[in-house]
């Protein structure tokens, strides 16, 4: 039986390591503490070991695992400067962007860009990312 696909990107590995670490959201950790927790978890368990711990926690505590992973992804991205949120070109005039928790997209045409579903934490980031293309932003609707 083939194994389930797993996102093996650097950002996913960092989030998985932070998830597997003992660091808690309630600790209100600094970027340095997040980096230390990631490094310690990877040294102790390896990337695959961290992924295994994530899977185990989702199996044993699904009610809390999702919230912890959202925090881990956001904290790891912020600690690594991921809050800058670079746009990813999907195809033709379609781009997507993430802040580690939410995903959104925008389309460009000869006149400007149209933002698709900009949630509160990513609204300003997607506007900035769309501004990095060679098109003008036509409509601004930031729910933040």
Q: How confident is the model at residue 1 (pLDDT cuts 50, 70, 90)?
A: very low
**pLDDT tens digit sequence for 37-81:** 999 999 999 999 999 999 999 999 998 999 999 999 989 988 876
Identify the pLDDT of residue 50: 94
The answer to whether 102 and 117 are in contact (CB under 8 A) is no
The percentage of the chain sitting over the pLDDT mark of 70, rounded to a whole number, equals 69
**End-to-end Cα, the chain, rounded Å:** 45
Backbone angles phi, psi at 137, to 5 degrees: -80, 120
Residue 16 pLDDT > 90: yes
Using DSSP's 3-state secondary structure scheme, residue 58 falls into helix
Identify the pLDDT of residue 33: 93
CA–CA distances in Å: residue 39 to residues 45, 67, 93, 94, 143: 10, 22, 38, 35, 35
Stronger pLDDT, 32 or 87, i.e. the higher one:
32
Question: How far is Cα 11 from Cα 77, in angstroms, rounded to an integer?
Answer: 7
Domain-wise residue ranges, the chain: 10-81, 85-137
Cβ within 8 Å of residue 98, ≥6 positions away: 85, 104, 122
Identify the pLDDT of residue 71: 93
């Amino acid at each position: 039986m083939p194994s389930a696909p797993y996102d093996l990107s650097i950002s996913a590995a960092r989030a998985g390591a932070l998830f597997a670490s003992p660091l808690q959201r309630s600790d209100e950790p600094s970027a340095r503490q997040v980096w230390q927790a990631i490094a310690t978890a990877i040294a102790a368990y390896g990337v695959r070991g961290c992924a295994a711990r994530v899977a185990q926690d989702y199996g044993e505590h699904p009610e809390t695992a999702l919230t912890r992973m959202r925090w881990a992804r956001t904290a790891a991205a912020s600690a690594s400067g991921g809050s800058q949120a670079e746009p990813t070109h999907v195809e033709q005039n379609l781009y997507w962007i993430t802040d580690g928790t939410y995903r959104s997209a925008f389309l460009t045409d000869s006149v400007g860009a149209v933002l698709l579903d900009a949630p509160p934490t990513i609204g300003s980031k997607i506007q900035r990312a769309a501004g990095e293309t060679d098109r003008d932003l036509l409509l601004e609707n930031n729910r933040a």
